[in-house]
A and B are shown apart, each in its own frame.
Chain A
């Protein structure tokens, strides 16, 4: 259905690629699938709720038995949890890292499943490509690292940002100003935009190439040899598809890694 939506204006006899007339319709689903009370559930909201169910189910069934000789599924889930706990939380934050591991694991799995929707057949829509979601996650990270800084250093946390004692006194106002904007404003902003922009770009590329390929190949009876363009687009689309799977995991990892780094810098500002 969305295939038709995105390529409705495409004319394979004259165009060389099917560009959607309105990019927004690839990301906005306004009609509700069903209602809970008077609250309409759109496709995006439904997928977000599905993340919670999927993640809880994987963690519950993966770690329920705690067998001495774990099966394949338990080993994979334990590997995932252990990766976030040891290689991100403890490795980056240090000895206090284990305290932040549950939060980092939640972020990691939420972003990972939200991103994986992009390459899931039948869903093909990364919910993290809606700016509201990365912004919310980045806002949570912002609250966590600011509170971690205040709890550790008190109000000296803010003083340390705007009046850094490690630089010469003449430079302190300038460096303090830059640090203030970079830590309290640019950090959460770039954290959110990085995830959002990567997912938007990936979703656009996949839609553009695969839909073009499909439209050209399926109209081979009308346009004859020009359908060969479609094979090229489709092959490229499949190549991007594999590339996107790598990007999806990398972005989930980088989002979690940077959240951990931000907490680490507010706990130990001297580093």
Chain B
């Protein structure tokens, strides 16, 4: 009985952990995308470079959230 309760609690903690892991990347992606939009608005002729760099920045920032996502399934 105690074991089942511990199992359920473990799942709940993993859920909270994934939520925490998503905070940082969420803020980070917001900053990356916001700055990219600002750059595109200021210099529309450089929009192509800004877009590629934005995707790269998002991809690197996102990695932390993804590791959290995987740990949520492993836990």
Contacts and interface: CB of A to CB of B under 8 A. Distances in A.
Contacts of B55: 250, 253-254, 257
Interface string A236-267: 00000000000000100110011001000000
Interface residues of A, number: 17
A257 to B, nearest CB: 6
A193 B56 contact: no
Contacts, number: 32
A257 B52 contact: yes
Q: Please tell me the size bucket of the interface on B.
A: 10 to 19
Contact of B52 (A91, A198, A201): A91
A254 B70 contact: no
A201 B52 CA distance: 24
A250 B59 CA distance: 10
Given A190-B67, A194-B62, A261-B56, 15 more contacts: A91-B52, A186-B63, A190-B66, A193-B67, A193-B70, A194-B59, A194-B63, A194-B66, A198-B66, A200-B73, A253-B55, A254-B55, A257-B52, A257-B55, A258-B56
19 contacts: A186-B63, A190-B66, A193-B70, A194-B59, A194-B62, A194-B63, A194-B66, A197-B66, A198-B66, A200-B73, A201-B69, A253-B55, A254-B55, A254-B59, A257-B52, A257-B56, A257-B59, A258-B56, A261-B56
